[in-house]
Chain A
Amino acid sequence: MSVLVFIDQSEGHIKKASYEVLSYGAKIAELTGTTADGIVLGTVQDDLPSLGRFGIRKVYQVSHESLNGLDAQLYADALAKAIQQVGADVVVFSHNVDGRTIAPRLSARLKAGLVAGAVSLPDTSNGFVVKKNVFSGKAFANVAVNTPVKIISLNPNAYKATEVGGTAEVVNLDIPAATRKVTITAVNKISGELPLTEAELVVSGGRGLKGPENWHLVEDLAKALGAATACSRPVADSHWRPHHEHVGQTGVVVSPNLYIALGISGSIQHLAGVNRSKVIVVVNKDPEAPFFKAADYGIVGDVFDVVPKITEAVKKLKQS
Protein backbone atom coordinates (compact mmCIF):
# COMPACT_ATOMS: atom_id res chain seq x y z
CA MET A 1 0.00 0.00 0.00
CA SER A 2 1.76 3.11 -1.17
CA VAL A 3 1.72 6.01 -3.61
CA LEU A 4 3.86 5.80 -6.75
CA VAL A 5 4.62 8.96 -8.72
CA PHE A 6 5.71 8.88 -12.36
CA ILE A 7 8.71 11.19 -12.76
CA ASP A 8 8.59 12.55 -16.29
CA GLN A 9 11.85 13.34 -17.99
CA SER A 10 12.93 14.63 -21.36
CA GLU A 11 16.36 13.78 -22.75
CA GLY A 12 17.65 12.92 -19.29
CA HIS A 13 16.29 15.98 -17.54
CA ILE A 14 13.42 15.89 -15.08
CA LYS A 15 10.50 18.11 -16.09
CA LYS A 16 9.23 20.81 -13.76
CA ALA A 17 5.78 19.20 -13.81
CA SER A 18 7.34 16.19 -12.08
CA TYR A 19 8.14 18.28 -8.98
CA GLU A 20 4.47 19.22 -8.67
CA VAL A 21 3.32 15.59 -8.85
CA LEU A 22 6.00 14.43 -6.42
CA SER A 23 4.75 16.95 -3.85
CA TYR A 24 1.16 16.01 -4.63
CA GLY A 25 1.90 12.29 -4.27
CA ALA A 26 3.76 12.86 -1.00
CA LYS A 27 0.76 14.79 0.33
CA ILE A 28 -1.64 11.97 -0.61
CA ALA A 29 0.63 9.53 1.24
CA GLU A 30 0.63 11.80 4.30
CA LEU A 31 -3.17 12.12 4.24
CA THR A 32 -3.72 8.36 3.87
CA GLY A 33 -1.02 7.31 6.32
CA THR A 34 1.30 5.64 3.85
CA THR A 35 4.51 6.44 1.97
CA ALA A 36 5.22 7.85 -1.48
CA ASP A 37 7.91 6.84 -3.94
CA GLY A 38 8.80 7.98 -7.45
CA ILE A 39 9.61 6.02 -10.58
CA VAL A 40 11.67 7.14 -13.53
CA LEU A 41 12.07 5.29 -16.82
CA GLY A 42 15.13 5.63 -19.03
CA THR A 43 18.55 7.17 -18.41
CA VAL A 44 18.65 10.35 -16.36
CA GLN A 45 21.47 12.86 -15.91
CA ASP A 46 19.79 14.84 -13.15
CA ASP A 47 20.41 13.97 -9.51
CA LEU A 48 17.79 11.48 -8.33
CA PRO A 49 18.44 11.24 -4.55
CA SER A 50 17.76 14.98 -4.19
CA LEU A 51 14.17 14.37 -5.35
CA GLY A 52 13.64 13.25 -1.75
CA ARG A 53 13.25 16.93 -0.96
CA PHE A 54 9.67 16.74 -2.29
CA GLY A 55 8.76 14.21 0.40
CA ILE A 56 9.29 10.88 -1.38
CA ARG A 57 11.15 7.96 0.16
CA LYS A 58 12.58 6.10 -2.83
CA VAL A 59 13.14 6.65 -6.53
CA TYR A 60 12.68 3.44 -8.48
CA GLN A 61 14.47 3.36 -11.79
CA VAL A 62 14.24 1.19 -14.87
CA SER A 63 17.05 2.40 -17.08
CA HIS A 64 16.89 0.23 -20.21
CA GLU A 65 18.02 2.07 -23.31
CA SER A 66 14.70 1.14 -24.96
CA LEU A 67 12.98 3.45 -22.45
CA ASN A 68 14.89 6.54 -23.59
CA GLY A 69 12.18 8.57 -25.29
CA LEU A 70 8.49 7.85 -24.98
CA ASP A 71 6.91 4.71 -26.35
CA ALA A 72 3.66 4.53 -24.41
CA GLN A 73 3.31 0.79 -24.93
CA LEU A 74 6.67 0.03 -23.29
CA TYR A 75 6.16 2.63 -20.60
CA ALA A 76 2.76 1.26 -19.60
CA ASP A 77 4.16 -2.26 -19.58
CA ALA A 78 7.16 -1.34 -17.41
CA LEU A 79 4.98 0.69 -15.05
CA ALA A 80 2.41 -2.10 -14.71
CA LYS A 81 5.17 -4.51 -13.69
CA ALA A 82 6.73 -1.98 -11.33
CA ILE A 83 3.39 -1.31 -9.63
CA GLN A 84 2.99 -5.01 -9.03
CA GLN A 85 6.52 -5.32 -7.62
CA VAL A 86 6.29 -2.37 -5.23
CA GLY A 87 2.62 -2.86 -4.36
CA ALA A 88 1.45 0.68 -5.08
CA ASP A 89 -2.26 1.41 -4.98
CA VAL A 90 -2.28 5.11 -5.94
CA VAL A 91 -0.36 6.08 -9.09
CA VAL A 92 0.17 9.73 -9.98
CA PHE A 93 1.08 11.35 -13.31
CA SER A 94 1.21 14.92 -14.52
CA HIS A 95 -1.58 15.59 -17.02
CA ASN A 96 1.10 16.85 -19.43
CA VAL A 97 1.77 15.48 -22.92
CA ASP A 98 3.46 12.30 -21.64
CA GLY A 99 1.07 11.70 -18.75
CA ARG A 100 -1.89 12.04 -21.11
CA THR A 101 -0.30 9.36 -23.29
CA ILE A 102 0.76 6.83 -20.65
CA ALA A 103 -1.85 7.08 -17.85
CA PRO A 104 -4.84 5.93 -19.98
CA ARG A 105 -2.87 2.93 -21.25
CA LEU A 106 -1.92 1.98 -17.73
CA SER A 107 -5.52 2.41 -16.62
CA ALA A 108 -6.74 -0.01 -19.29
CA ARG A 109 -3.90 -2.42 -18.59
CA LEU A 110 -4.54 -2.63 -14.83
CA LYS A 111 -8.30 -1.99 -15.03
CA ALA A 112 -7.55 0.81 -12.59
CA GLY A 113 -9.81 3.87 -12.60
CA LEU A 114 -8.20 7.05 -13.93
CA VAL A 115 -9.04 10.64 -13.01
CA ALA A 116 -7.53 12.63 -15.88
CA GLY A 117 -6.87 16.33 -15.29
CA ALA A 118 -7.28 16.37 -11.49
CA VAL A 119 -7.22 19.73 -9.75
CA SER A 120 -7.34 18.73 -6.08
CA LEU A 121 -6.19 16.18 -3.54
CA PRO A 122 -8.41 13.09 -3.28
CA ASP A 123 -11.22 13.14 -0.73
CA THR A 124 -10.96 9.82 1.12
CA SER A 125 -13.65 10.51 3.72
CA ASN A 126 -16.08 8.30 1.80
CA GLY A 127 -14.36 6.26 -0.88
CA PHE A 128 -11.80 7.92 -3.14
CA VAL A 129 -13.09 11.03 -4.90
CA VAL A 130 -11.00 13.45 -6.96
CA LYS A 131 -12.08 16.76 -8.45
CA LYS A 132 -11.22 17.33 -12.11
CA ASN A 133 -11.77 19.87 -14.84
CA VAL A 134 -14.64 19.26 -17.25
CA PHE A 135 -16.31 21.27 -20.01
CA SER A 136 -13.00 22.92 -20.93
CA GLY A 137 -12.54 24.69 -17.60
CA LYS A 138 -16.16 25.79 -17.27
CA ALA A 139 -16.98 23.26 -14.53
CA PHE A 140 -15.56 20.58 -12.24
CA ALA A 141 -16.63 16.99 -11.71
CA ASN A 142 -16.09 14.99 -8.52
CA VAL A 143 -15.06 11.57 -9.76
CA ALA A 144 -15.20 8.46 -7.59
CA VAL A 145 -12.65 5.77 -8.44
CA ASN A 146 -14.21 2.32 -8.00
CA THR A 147 -11.10 0.11 -8.33
CA PRO A 148 -8.44 -1.10 -5.84
CA VAL A 149 -5.64 0.69 -7.77
CA LYS A 150 -6.30 4.36 -8.49
CA ILE A 151 -4.59 6.49 -11.13
CA ILE A 152 -4.59 10.28 -11.13
CA SER A 153 -3.15 12.65 -13.71
CA LEU A 154 -2.76 16.08 -12.14
CA ASN A 155 -3.32 19.24 -14.15
CA PRO A 156 -0.09 21.25 -14.57
CA ASN A 157 0.11 24.14 -12.10
CA ALA A 158 -2.80 22.79 -10.01
CA TYR A 159 -0.60 21.86 -7.03
CA LYS A 160 2.45 23.75 -5.84
CA ALA A 161 5.76 21.91 -5.60
CA THR A 162 6.91 22.14 -1.99
CA GLU A 163 10.35 21.22 -0.71
CA VAL A 164 10.25 19.52 2.68
CA GLY A 165 13.84 18.29 2.71
CA GLY A 166 15.15 14.74 2.54
CA THR A 167 17.09 12.36 0.36
CA ALA A 168 15.58 9.54 -1.67
CA GLU A 169 17.09 6.09 -1.98
CA VAL A 170 17.54 5.07 -5.63
CA VAL A 171 16.44 1.49 -6.30
CA ASN A 172 16.90 -0.23 -9.64
CA LEU A 173 13.96 -2.45 -10.51
CA ASP A 174 14.48 -5.73 -12.31
CA ILE A 175 12.10 -5.50 -15.25
CA PRO A 176 12.96 -7.20 -18.55
CA ALA A 177 13.72 -4.96 -21.53
CA ALA A 178 11.28 -4.93 -24.46
CA THR A 179 11.49 -3.84 -28.08
CA ARG A 180 10.29 -0.38 -29.06
CA LYS A 181 7.80 0.13 -31.86
CA VAL A 182 7.97 3.94 -31.77
CA THR A 183 11.27 5.17 -33.21
CA ILE A 184 11.99 8.81 -32.47
CA THR A 185 13.71 10.32 -35.49
CA ALA A 186 13.91 13.99 -34.48
CA VAL A 187 13.25 16.31 -31.55
CA ASN A 188 12.75 19.93 -32.58
CA LYS A 189 12.72 22.29 -29.63
CA ILE A 190 12.31 26.00 -30.04
CA SER A 191 15.48 27.05 -28.29
CA GLY A 192 15.63 29.94 -25.89
CA GLU A 193 11.89 30.02 -25.34
CA LEU A 194 10.05 29.05 -22.20
CA PRO A 195 7.55 26.26 -23.05
CA LEU A 196 4.10 27.81 -22.87
CA THR A 197 2.52 24.87 -21.05
CA GLU A 198 5.15 24.98 -18.29
CA ALA A 199 5.19 28.76 -17.83
CA GLU A 200 3.93 30.26 -14.57
CA LEU A 201 3.50 33.65 -16.20
CA VAL A 202 2.18 34.27 -19.70
CA VAL A 203 1.89 37.51 -21.69
CA SER A 204 -0.41 37.21 -24.69
CA GLY A 205 -1.21 39.56 -27.57
CA GLY A 206 -4.22 39.91 -29.84
CA ARG A 207 -5.38 41.86 -32.85
CA GLY A 208 -5.27 45.04 -30.80
CA LEU A 209 -1.51 45.09 -31.41
CA LYS A 210 -2.28 45.83 -35.07
CA GLY A 211 0.64 43.91 -36.56
CA PRO A 212 3.67 41.66 -35.98
CA GLU A 213 5.96 44.70 -36.03
CA ASN A 214 4.49 45.75 -32.67
CA TRP A 215 5.22 42.46 -30.91
CA HIS A 216 8.13 43.99 -29.03
CA LEU A 217 5.46 45.33 -26.64
CA VAL A 218 4.49 41.76 -25.70
CA GLU A 219 8.07 40.49 -25.74
CA ASP A 220 9.48 43.31 -23.62
CA LEU A 221 6.88 42.82 -20.92
CA ALA A 222 7.35 39.04 -21.03
CA LYS A 223 11.11 39.44 -20.74
CA ALA A 224 10.79 41.81 -17.79
CA LEU A 225 8.52 39.31 -16.02
CA GLY A 226 10.32 36.14 -17.09
CA ALA A 227 7.10 35.07 -18.80
CA ALA A 228 6.31 33.03 -21.90
CA THR A 229 4.62 34.74 -24.86
CA ALA A 230 1.35 33.66 -26.43
CA CYS A 231 -1.25 34.99 -28.86
CA SER A 232 -4.90 34.75 -29.86
CA ARG A 233 -6.16 32.68 -32.78
CA PRO A 234 -6.59 35.55 -35.32
CA VAL A 235 -2.98 36.52 -34.68
CA ALA A 236 -1.74 33.00 -35.41
CA ASP A 237 -4.08 32.64 -38.39
CA SER A 238 -2.72 35.89 -39.87
CA HIS A 239 0.80 34.48 -39.39
CA TRP A 240 1.83 37.38 -37.19
CA ARG A 241 3.01 34.76 -34.70
CA PRO A 242 3.73 31.01 -34.97
CA HIS A 243 0.86 28.58 -34.37
CA HIS A 244 2.48 27.01 -31.31
CA GLU A 245 1.83 30.31 -29.49
CA HIS A 246 -1.92 30.16 -30.18
CA VAL A 247 -3.77 29.87 -26.88
CA GLY A 248 -7.44 28.84 -26.89
CA GLN A 249 -9.93 26.05 -27.33
CA THR A 250 -8.20 24.54 -30.35
CA GLY A 251 -4.71 25.78 -29.56
CA VAL A 252 -2.66 25.43 -26.41
CA VAL A 253 -4.55 25.29 -23.11
CA VAL A 254 -2.64 27.07 -20.36
CA SER A 255 -3.10 27.32 -16.60
CA PRO A 256 -0.44 29.77 -15.40
CA ASN A 257 -0.45 31.79 -12.19
CA LEU A 258 -0.75 34.97 -14.24
CA TYR A 259 -2.15 35.51 -17.74
CA ILE A 260 -1.85 39.01 -19.16
CA ALA A 261 -4.00 39.61 -22.26
CA LEU A 262 -3.05 42.62 -24.37
CA GLY A 263 -5.50 43.73 -27.03
CA ILE A 264 -7.51 40.48 -26.91
CA SER A 265 -11.30 40.84 -26.80
CA GLY A 266 -11.82 37.47 -25.09
CA SER A 267 -13.98 35.27 -27.33
CA ILE A 268 -15.49 32.23 -25.63
CA GLN A 269 -13.03 30.02 -27.56
CA HIS A 270 -10.08 32.01 -26.27
CA LEU A 271 -11.41 31.91 -22.71
CA ALA A 272 -11.68 28.11 -22.91
CA GLY A 273 -7.91 28.02 -23.30
CA VAL A 274 -7.05 30.39 -20.46
CA ASN A 275 -9.83 30.16 -17.87
CA ARG A 276 -7.75 27.83 -15.68
CA SER A 277 -5.26 30.68 -15.05
CA LYS A 278 -5.12 31.82 -11.42
CA VAL A 279 -5.02 35.57 -12.12
CA ILE A 280 -6.06 37.21 -15.38
CA VAL A 281 -5.14 40.76 -16.39
CA VAL A 282 -6.81 42.38 -19.39
CA VAL A 283 -5.65 45.52 -21.17
CA ASN A 284 -8.05 46.63 -23.90
CA LYS A 285 -9.19 49.98 -25.23
CA ASP A 286 -12.77 48.72 -25.58
CA PRO A 287 -14.48 48.85 -22.15
CA GLU A 288 -17.14 46.45 -23.53
CA ALA A 289 -14.57 43.72 -24.35
CA PRO A 290 -16.03 40.46 -22.94
CA PHE A 291 -12.63 39.52 -21.50
CA PHE A 292 -13.07 42.04 -18.66
CA LYS A 293 -15.87 39.84 -17.24
CA ALA A 294 -13.38 36.98 -16.83
CA ALA A 295 -10.53 39.16 -15.57
CA ASP A 296 -9.23 39.88 -12.07
CA TYR A 297 -7.55 43.15 -13.03
CA GLY A 298 -8.32 45.37 -15.99
CA ILE A 299 -7.12 48.52 -17.65
CA VAL A 300 -9.23 50.27 -20.28
CA GLY A 301 -6.58 51.90 -22.39
CA ASP A 302 -4.44 51.86 -25.48
CA VAL A 303 -1.91 49.00 -25.37
CA PHE A 304 0.64 51.19 -27.18
CA ASP A 305 0.49 53.68 -24.34
CA VAL A 306 -0.14 51.45 -21.32
CA VAL A 307 2.08 48.40 -21.92
CA PRO A 308 5.48 50.19 -22.02
CA LYS A 309 4.58 51.78 -18.68
CA ILE A 310 3.71 48.40 -17.16
CA THR A 311 7.02 47.02 -18.45
CA GLU A 312 8.92 49.92 -16.85
CA ALA A 313 7.12 49.39 -13.54
CA VAL A 314 7.96 45.66 -13.61
CA LYS A 315 11.63 46.42 -14.26
CA LYS A 316 11.62 48.86 -11.35
CA LEU A 317 10.02 46.24 -9.07
CA LYS A 318 12.57 43.60 -10.08
CA GLN A 319 15.43 45.97 -9.33
CA SER A 320 14.12 46.97 -5.92
Chain B
Amino acid sequence: MKILVCVTKTPDTTSKIAFTDNNTKFAQAGVQWIINPYDEWYALVRAVEIKEKYPSTTIHLVTVGAADVEPIIRKALALGGDEAYRVNAESSDSFYVASQIAAIAQAGAYDLVFTGKETLDYNGASIGGMLAELLDLPYVSGATKLELNGTTATINREIEGGEEVCAVPLPLVVSAQKGMAEARIPNMRGIMAARTKPLKVAEPVQTDLLTTIQSYELPPAKTGVKMIPADKPEELVTLLHEEAKVI
Protein backbone atom coordinates (compact mmCIF):
# COMPACT_ATOMS: atom_id res chain seq x y z
CA MET B 1 0.00 0.00 0.00
CA LYS B 2 1.34 3.43 -0.95
CA ILE B 3 -0.28 6.50 0.56
CA LEU B 4 0.29 10.15 -0.35
CA VAL B 5 -0.78 12.79 2.19
CA CYS B 6 -1.06 16.40 1.02
CA VAL B 7 -0.12 18.91 3.70
CA THR B 8 0.22 22.66 3.75
CA LYS B 9 1.10 25.37 6.19
CA THR B 10 -1.59 27.72 7.43
CA PRO B 11 -1.63 30.57 9.94
CA ASP B 12 -2.47 29.48 13.47
CA THR B 13 -6.13 30.19 14.27
CA THR B 14 -5.19 32.87 16.78
CA SER B 15 -3.09 34.81 14.22
CA LYS B 16 -4.04 38.37 13.45
CA ILE B 17 -5.32 38.61 9.90
CA ALA B 18 -4.07 41.77 8.19
CA PHE B 19 -2.98 42.81 4.72
CA THR B 20 -0.23 44.97 3.20
CA ASP B 21 0.67 46.50 -0.18
CA ASN B 22 -2.68 48.19 -0.63
CA ASN B 23 -4.55 45.10 0.62
CA THR B 24 -3.03 42.79 -1.97
CA LYS B 25 -0.76 40.71 0.30
CA PHE B 26 -1.33 38.78 3.52
CA ALA B 27 0.77 40.36 6.30
CA GLN B 28 3.02 37.49 7.37
CA ALA B 29 4.95 39.37 10.07
CA GLY B 30 4.52 37.71 13.44
CA VAL B 31 2.28 34.96 12.07
CA GLN B 32 2.65 31.58 13.72
CA TRP B 33 2.48 28.83 11.07
CA ILE B 34 1.05 25.41 11.73
CA ILE B 35 0.25 22.32 9.65
CA ASN B 36 -3.28 22.79 8.33
CA PRO B 37 -5.28 20.96 11.06
CA TYR B 38 -7.41 18.93 8.61
CA ASP B 39 -4.23 17.71 6.90
CA GLU B 40 -2.53 16.87 10.19
CA TRP B 41 -5.16 15.64 12.63
CA TYR B 42 -7.30 13.71 10.21
CA ALA B 43 -5.52 12.90 6.93
CA LEU B 44 -1.99 12.26 8.19
CA VAL B 45 -2.95 10.56 11.45
CA ARG B 46 -5.35 8.23 9.61
CA ALA B 47 -2.55 7.35 7.17
CA VAL B 48 -0.27 6.60 10.13
CA GLU B 49 -2.96 4.40 11.69
CA ILE B 50 -3.23 2.45 8.43
CA LYS B 51 0.53 1.94 8.44
CA GLU B 52 0.37 0.72 12.03
CA LYS B 53 -2.20 -1.86 10.96
CA TYR B 54 -0.48 -2.79 7.67
CA PRO B 55 3.26 -2.27 8.35
CA SER B 56 4.28 -2.72 4.70
CA THR B 57 2.53 0.59 3.94
CA THR B 58 4.64 3.50 2.68
CA ILE B 59 3.54 7.06 3.47
CA HIS B 60 4.78 10.00 1.43
CA LEU B 61 3.99 13.61 2.18
CA VAL B 62 3.73 16.39 -0.35
CA THR B 63 3.51 20.14 0.04
CA VAL B 64 3.64 23.07 -2.34
CA GLY B 65 5.54 25.95 -0.80
CA ALA B 66 8.75 27.90 -0.43
CA ALA B 67 11.69 26.74 1.72
CA ASP B 68 10.15 28.32 4.84
CA VAL B 69 7.57 25.52 4.90
CA GLU B 70 10.23 22.91 5.75
CA PRO B 71 9.85 23.09 9.57
CA ILE B 72 6.18 22.25 9.07
CA ILE B 73 7.07 19.27 6.88
CA ARG B 74 9.59 18.03 9.48
CA LYS B 75 6.87 18.21 12.10
CA ALA B 76 4.54 16.24 9.86
CA LEU B 77 7.30 13.67 9.29
CA ALA B 78 7.70 13.41 13.07
CA LEU B 79 4.08 12.29 13.30
CA GLY B 80 4.68 9.65 10.65
CA GLY B 81 5.48 9.32 6.99
CA ASP B 82 8.57 7.93 5.33
CA GLU B 83 9.59 10.74 3.05
CA ALA B 84 8.37 14.09 1.85
CA TYR B 85 8.29 16.14 -1.32
CA ARG B 86 8.24 19.90 -1.47
CA VAL B 87 7.33 21.51 -4.75
CA ASN B 88 9.20 24.77 -4.76
CA ALA B 89 6.38 27.18 -5.65
CA GLU B 90 3.77 29.35 -3.96
CA SER B 91 0.31 30.12 -5.29
CA SER B 92 -3.17 31.00 -4.12
CA ASP B 93 -4.65 29.35 -7.24
CA SER B 94 -5.99 25.90 -6.32
CA PHE B 95 -5.59 24.52 -9.84
CA TYR B 96 -1.93 25.50 -9.90
CA VAL B 97 -1.33 23.78 -6.56
CA ALA B 98 -3.35 20.69 -7.52
CA SER B 99 -1.41 20.40 -10.78
CA GLN B 100 1.90 20.38 -8.86
CA ILE B 101 0.66 17.66 -6.52
CA ALA B 102 -0.73 15.69 -9.47
CA ALA B 103 2.76 15.58 -11.03
CA ILE B 104 4.17 14.06 -7.82
CA ALA B 105 1.20 11.69 -7.43
CA GLN B 106 1.47 10.42 -11.02
CA ALA B 107 5.12 9.56 -10.56
CA GLY B 108 4.45 7.69 -7.30
CA ALA B 109 1.44 5.53 -8.34
CA TYR B 110 -0.29 5.77 -4.95
CA ASP B 111 -3.22 3.61 -3.82
CA LEU B 112 -4.65 6.32 -1.60
CA VAL B 113 -4.24 10.09 -1.72
CA PHE B 114 -5.37 12.05 1.35
CA THR B 115 -6.06 15.75 1.64
CA GLY B 116 -7.64 17.71 4.47
CA LYS B 117 -11.24 18.90 4.03
CA GLU B 118 -10.06 22.46 3.39
CA THR B 119 -7.27 24.82 4.42
CA LEU B 120 -7.81 27.44 7.08
CA ASP B 121 -6.42 30.22 4.86
CA TYR B 122 -8.16 30.06 1.46
CA ASN B 123 -11.03 27.75 2.51
CA GLY B 124 -11.38 26.51 -1.05
CA ALA B 125 -11.90 22.81 -0.29
CA SER B 126 -10.76 22.35 -3.89
CA ILE B 127 -7.40 20.55 -4.01
CA GLY B 128 -8.77 17.03 -3.48
CA GLY B 129 -11.39 17.28 -6.22
CA MET B 130 -9.03 18.89 -8.73
CA LEU B 131 -6.35 16.33 -7.98
CA ALA B 132 -8.81 13.44 -8.43
CA GLU B 133 -9.86 14.84 -11.80
CA LEU B 134 -6.25 15.34 -12.94
CA LEU B 135 -5.45 11.76 -11.89
CA ASP B 136 -8.79 10.43 -13.23
CA LEU B 137 -9.55 8.76 -9.88
CA PRO B 138 -12.73 8.54 -7.79
CA TYR B 139 -13.08 11.17 -5.08
CA VAL B 140 -14.90 11.27 -1.76
CA SER B 141 -14.87 14.53 0.18
CA GLY B 142 -15.51 15.41 3.80
CA ALA B 143 -14.82 11.83 4.92
CA THR B 144 -15.28 11.06 8.62
CA LYS B 145 -14.23 7.40 8.50
CA LEU B 146 -12.20 5.19 6.17
CA GLU B 147 -11.63 1.45 6.43
CA LEU B 148 -9.68 -0.67 3.96
CA ASN B 149 -10.87 -4.11 2.88
CA GLY B 150 -8.37 -5.40 0.35
CA THR B 151 -8.65 -3.25 -2.74
CA THR B 152 -11.79 -1.41 -1.63
CA ALA B 153 -12.22 1.45 0.83
CA THR B 154 -15.38 1.86 2.86
CA ILE B 155 -15.86 5.54 3.53
CA ASN B 156 -18.35 7.57 5.56
CA ARG B 157 -18.88 11.09 4.34
CA GLU B 158 -20.86 13.92 5.87
CA ILE B 159 -24.06 14.93 4.10
CA GLU B 160 -26.74 17.41 5.16
CA GLY B 161 -28.31 16.09 8.33
CA GLY B 162 -26.42 12.81 8.46
CA GLU B 163 -23.87 10.65 6.70
CA GLU B 164 -23.50 8.46 3.66
CA VAL B 165 -21.52 5.23 3.56
CA CYS B 166 -19.91 4.23 0.28
CA ALA B 167 -17.58 1.61 -1.11
CA VAL B 168 -14.91 2.76 -3.57
CA PRO B 169 -12.21 0.73 -5.33
CA LEU B 170 -8.59 1.84 -4.87
CA PRO B 171 -6.85 3.94 -6.02
CA LEU B 172 -8.79 6.99 -4.90
CA VAL B 173 -8.54 10.52 -3.50
CA VAL B 174 -10.23 11.32 -0.22
CA SER B 175 -10.52 14.54 1.79
CA ALA B 176 -10.63 14.03 5.56
CA GLN B 177 -12.35 15.86 8.38
CA LYS B 178 -13.18 15.50 12.07
CA GLY B 179 -14.00 11.93 13.02
CA MET B 180 -11.41 10.36 10.72
CA ALA B 181 -8.78 10.14 13.49
CA GLU B 182 -7.78 11.70 16.80
CA ALA B 183 -5.09 14.38 16.93
CA ARG B 184 -1.67 13.13 18.06
CA ILE B 185 1.46 14.81 19.39
CA PRO B 186 4.78 13.70 17.88
CA ASN B 187 6.96 11.75 20.33
CA MET B 188 10.70 12.24 20.82
CA ARG B 189 11.55 9.18 18.73
CA GLY B 190 9.46 10.51 15.89
CA ILE B 191 11.05 13.95 16.12
CA MET B 192 14.57 12.46 16.06
CA ALA B 193 13.71 10.17 13.14
CA ALA B 194 12.14 13.02 11.16
CA ARG B 195 15.46 14.87 11.03
CA THR B 196 17.00 12.29 8.73
CA LYS B 197 13.98 11.34 6.64
CA PRO B 198 14.32 12.32 2.97
CA LEU B 199 12.81 15.69 2.04
CA LYS B 200 13.04 16.02 -1.72
CA VAL B 201 12.60 19.33 -3.50
CA ALA B 202 10.95 19.34 -6.91
CA GLU B 203 10.67 22.29 -9.27
CA PRO B 204 7.11 23.19 -10.35
CA VAL B 205 5.57 22.05 -13.62
CA GLN B 206 4.36 24.73 -16.02
CA THR B 207 0.70 25.49 -15.22
CA ASP B 208 -1.72 28.29 -16.05
CA LEU B 209 -3.28 30.31 -13.24
CA LEU B 210 -7.04 30.00 -13.59
CA THR B 211 -7.71 32.60 -10.90
CA THR B 212 -5.87 35.55 -9.33
CA ILE B 213 -6.57 37.24 -6.03
CA GLN B 214 -6.88 40.95 -6.81
CA SER B 215 -7.30 42.23 -3.28
CA TYR B 216 -8.31 41.34 0.24
CA GLU B 217 -10.67 43.07 2.58
CA LEU B 218 -11.61 42.73 6.22
CA PRO B 219 -15.26 42.39 7.20
CA PRO B 220 -16.86 45.63 8.40
CA ALA B 221 -16.24 45.97 12.13
CA LYS B 222 -19.21 45.03 14.29
CA THR B 223 -20.93 48.24 15.27
CA GLY B 224 -20.81 47.05 18.84
CA VAL B 225 -23.02 44.77 20.84
CA LYS B 226 -26.37 46.06 21.99
CA MET B 227 -26.86 44.96 25.59
CA ILE B 228 -30.26 44.03 26.95
CA PRO B 229 -30.89 44.00 30.69
CA ALA B 230 -31.12 40.49 32.16
CA ASP B 231 -34.45 41.25 33.77
CA LYS B 232 -36.03 42.18 30.41
CA PRO B 233 -35.07 39.31 28.08
CA GLU B 234 -38.35 39.74 26.14
CA GLU B 235 -36.83 42.95 24.74
CA LEU B 236 -34.33 40.76 22.87
CA VAL B 237 -37.18 39.01 21.06
CA THR B 238 -38.73 42.36 20.10
CA LEU B 239 -35.37 43.59 18.73
CA LEU B 240 -34.77 40.37 16.76
CA HIS B 241 -38.23 40.69 15.25
CA GLU B 242 -38.46 44.43 14.58
CA GLU B 243 -34.89 45.67 14.26
CA ALA B 244 -32.79 42.72 13.02
CA LYS B 245 -35.83 41.15 11.29
CA VAL B 246 -34.45 37.64 11.63
CA ILE B 247 -37.43 36.06 13.42
Contact = CB atoms under 8 A, between A and B. Distances in A.
B49 interface: no
B101 to A, nearest CB: 11
Contacts of B106: none
Interface stretch (B63-71, B193-201, B239-247): B239-247
B45 to A, nearest CB: 13
A97 B211 contact: no
Contacts of B222: 293-296
Contact of B141 (A97, A113, A186): A97
A243 B163 CA distance: 12
B157 interface: yes
Contact of B123 (A131, A136, A198, A300): A136
Interface in B117-158: 118, 120-134, 136-142, 154, 157-158
A72 B141 contact: yes
Interface string A279-318: 1011000000000111111111110011101101110110
B125 A116 contact: yes
Interface in B11-28: 11, 13-14, 17, 19
A270 B178 CA distance: 15
A250 B178 contact: yes
B142 A100 contact: yes
A257 interface: yes
A108 B228 contact: no
A183 B234 contact: no
A101 B133 contact: no
Nearest to B167: A183
Interface residues of B, dominant DSSP: mixed
Given A72-B141, A108-B95, A251 B237 contact: no
A313 B233 contact: yes
Contacts of B19: 139
Nearest to B227: A298
A3 interface: no
Given A116-B94, A225-B247, A182 B168 contact: yes
Contacts of B125: 95, 100, 104, 116-117
A185 B225 CA distance: 48
Given A146-B209, A182-B138, A309-B234, A135 B160 contact: no
A178 interface: no
Given A71-B138, A97-B158, A183 B14 contact: no
Interface of B: 11, 13-14, 17, 19, 37-38, 41, 92, 94-95, 98, 118, 120-134, 136-142, 154, 157-169, 172, 177-179, 208-219, 222, 225-230, 233-234, 236-241, 244, 246-247
22 contacts: A72-B129, A73-B137, A101-B129, A104-B124, A105-B130, A108-B95, A116-B94, A116-B123, A133-B123, A145-B211, A146-B208, A146-B209, A147-B210, A186-B165, A249-B13, A268-B14, A279-B240, A293-B225, A299-B227, A299-B233, A307-B233, A310-B236
